[in-house]
Structure 1
Amino acid sequence: MQTPFGFLADRVTLSPRALRWGTTAALVVSILIIITGGVVRVTGSGLGCPTWPACDDGSLTTTPELGIHGFIEFANRVLTGVLIAAVGWAIVAARLQKPRERSMTRLAWSQFWLVVVNALAGGVTVLTELNPWVVAMHFVMAIALLTTTTLTWHRAHRGQTADASFPRWIGALAWVLVIATAVLILVGTLVTGTGPHAGDSADVPRMAFVWEQVTVVHGVLGVVVLVLGVVLLVGVRRVPGASLALRRVVTFVVVVVLQAALGIAQALLGLPEWMVVLHLLGSALVWVGALRVLLDLHPRLFAPRPATTYTMKVQEHALNA
């Protein structure tokens, strides 16, 4: 039985440019929703809409009685609709490519399901009245969504991938860099869950860590990530024809340095709200940068499979395999 997408694909073809724009939109909005989530937290608007999925009892949208906090929280929820539209664009564009790449379509659909999971996580966050562990889980889910949008974007922009042969140790170090960056971000959620920005009133429970101690651990991990990035930079510089990969690594190191400077500044200045939001943006950019470094140093990751002409010989080989 033919699906609606299959019916449409038989009659409409979209260009690779449409796919590139769709994946770019999904990537940008997935970063933007992390920023707006930070704005919700630092303005104390986490319970601006006290219920979910409606904003308030008897109202799907915010009401004047909920004030500015209701407006901020509801605006963050509305952005989810924009994200769904961007992801939908990427899904449709991926399905209407000729020839069709099933792996690209699956990547695009993975974004949609992670948007659904994030929406549910946001609802649980409200229903548990901003339990710090649930809030941390919600942020991790947002990073998971950012991972899929980055991978899909990379796949749609294969022409911008480094074309060089790298030593095995550089490839292994790239994996270590991604793992270390992931741990850095996870510990960052503990710092936030222990710190003063609870997302609503001071009565919201916090994680039972000593903020200064977990912040030091977070800082040490940041130094580890920076050192790994610098070592990769030195190694990639010695690889012939790796100018594009070198630019990726340099960009990553610069972003990490700026993120570290911002983190130190916000800690010394008492965590001003605007700096916290910028630091959240920086965490998203650092994660995207780490993934881009990995993908450029492993060109075969998420590479499209070569097209195969279906013949009787191919069919016979498949049956005998």
Structure 2
Amino acid sequence: MSTTIRAGTPASTGGAVRGGPVGAWTSRLLAFNVVAESLIVVTGGVVRLTGSGLGCPTWPQCVPGSYVPVVEQEEGFHKYIEFGNRTLTGFVGLVALAALVAVLRARRPDLLRWVAPLLLGILAQALIGGIVVHTDLAPVTVVLHFLVSAVLVAVSTALWMRAREAPGPRRSAVRAEVRHLARFTALVAAVVIVLGTLVTGSGPHSGDADSPSRLPLDPRTVSWLHADVVMAFCGLVIGCVVALRLAGAGRAAQRRGVELLVVTLAQGTIGYVQYFTGLPEVLVAAHMAGACVLVVAVTRLLLALTEPVAAAPRPPAATVS
């Protein structure tokens, strides 16, 4: 069923819409939640790059009988790196709970559609982390661990951006053709990220310093495939920027298209430099951080494809299904 909404139509026809754009404090909290979700990806990368994946060889305890590292452990400094990442997971969970409280206090029940999967995803991440440890860093579980984090970064971004807007009906902010192009570009971005995890999983940074475990793939072939898809993605992003401009999309959508292009070019540059310099740990970590920024940028563009009905008057009718 679709609803046709014209400029000047009240934002709600079924009663008063509770709440409004959240306050500055709540907006900052939700933005910090995005940073926290991204930070745990980076610290997880540090665990992998330093070979500290089994620094705490058991889960949920670090070692049998203790939830924290003990002096007698054989894992050396690796135990502190792995324990630090586990501790950050708990902190991220607390931030998400704070976000839930802030959303409820702001009287924005519509935002629960983003908070709920965020909380469930963090719980799932903790359980997946346990599986990673108990399977001795099986590459498939490590890949899943990262991909779930990428989804949580996207969900956190959606929560942050939607909280800054008024609740209620929305309408398309761009032409249908541009919307389809942007969504297809986002799909290719997902393929790029998945292939990136396969590159890492088949490369030298396996996560365990003593017993490397890698995907049974040729690193060079996977890297070339990843690079090819990245090139296609760059072309699509440029196409989005041009299409948004020519179709007269709103300034927010055009700006986010340019943001995505800048992030894509920066991330691509880091990727090529790290490949041709032998995958130095610092650049690999920067590339993982860039992947989070890319997810944020793609999500922001997708969210800009629609706008609240009351955001600005538009003469033509728009239909939102």
Which TM-score tier does this pair reach, normalised by the shorter chain? 0.7 to 0.9
Q: Which runs of 5+ in 1 are unaligned?
A: 1-13, 305-321
RMSD: 2.1
> What are the equivalent positions in structure 2 for 1:84-95 lying under 5 Å apart?
84-95=93-104
1:145-167: CA deviations, max 9, x gaps? 112111111111227xx998422
Partners of 1:60 and 1:295 in 2: how far apart?
41
1 or 2, which has the higher helix percentage? 1
Once the two structures are TM-superposed, the CA of residue 24 in structure 1 deviates from its matched residue by 1.3
Q: Is the 8 A contact 2:93 2:122 kept in 1?
A: yes
Question: 1:167 corresponds to which residue?
Answer: 175
Question: 2:124 corresponds to which residue?
Answer: 117
Runs of 4+ residues over 6 Å off in structure 1: none
Partners of 2:172 and 2:183 in 1: how far apart?
17
Cα 1:95/1:265, change in 2 over 3 Å: same
Question: 2:83 corresponds to which residue?
Answer: 74
Partners of 1:163 and 1:269 in 2: how far apart?
47
Question: 1:308 corresponds to which residue?
Answer: none
Partners of 1:202 and 1:81 in 2: how far apart?
27
Q: Does 1:187 align with 2:189?
A: no
Partners of 1:270 and 1:220 in 2: how far apart?
19
Question: 2:15 corresponds to which residue?
Answer: none
AA in 1 matched with 2:114: L
Q: Is the 8 A contact 2:47 2:81 kept in 1?
A: yes
Partners of 1:252 and 1:231 in 2: how far apart?
12
Question: 2:258 corresponds to which residue?
Answer: 250
Once the two structures are TM-superposed, the CA of residue 15 in structure 1 deviates from its matched residue by 5.9
Structure 2 residue corresponding to 1:197, chosen from 205, 209, 215: 205
Question: 1:216 corresponds to which residue?
Answer: 224
Q: Is the 8 A contact 1:191 1:215 kept in 2?
A: yes
Question: 1:289 corresponds to which residue?
Answer: 297
> What are the equivalent positions in structure 2 for 1:299-318 lying under 5 Å apart?
299=307
Structure 1 residue corresponding to 2:135, chosen from 112, 128, 142: 128
Partners of 2:57 and 2:206 in 1: how far apart?
15
SS in 2 for 1:30: helix
Once the two structures are TM-superposed, the CA of residue 202 in structure 1 deviates from its matched residue by 5.3
Once the two structures are TM-superposed, the CA of residue 18 in structure 1 deviates from its matched residue by 3.5
1:89-115: CA deviations, max 9, x gaps? 110011112xx3322123212211110
AA in 1 matched with 2:45: G
SS in 2 for 1:299: strand
Q: Is the 8 A contact 1:163 1:242 kept in 2?
A: no
Structure 2 residue corresponding to 1:96, chosen from 99, 105, 120: 105
Once the two structures are TM-superposed, the CA of residue 81 in structure 1 deviates from its matched residue by 1.6
TM-score calculated relative to the size of structure 2: 0.84
Question: 1:270 corresponds to which residue?
Answer: 278
Partners of 2:43 and 2:159 in 1: how far apart?
23
AA in 2 matched with 1:173: L
AA in 1 matched with 2:147: V
1:53-87: CA deviations, max 9, x gaps? 01111111112334210000000011012101210
Q: Which runs of 5+ in 2 are unaligned?
A: 1-20, 311-321
TM-score calculated relative to the size of structure 1: 0.84
Once the two structures are TM-superposed, the CA of residue 19 in structure 1 deviates from its matched residue by 2.6
Partners of 1:210 and 1:288 in 2: how far apart?
30
Question: 1:46 corresponds to which residue?
Answer: 53
Structure 2 residue corresponding to 1:23, chosen from 27, 30, 36: 30
How many equivalent residue pairs?
285
Question: 2:114 corresponds to which residue?
Answer: 107
Partners of 1:202 and 1:225 in 2: how far apart?
37
Q: Is the 8 A contact 2:34 2:153 kept in 1?
A: yes
Structure 2 residue corresponding to 1:146, chosen from 150, 153, 157: 153
Partners of 2:118 and 2:81 in 1: how far apart?
25
AA in 2 matched with 1:286: L
Q: Is the 8 A contact 2:173 2:304 kept in 1?
A: no
Once the two structures are TM-superposed, the CA of residue 205 in structure 1 deviates from its matched residue by 2.3
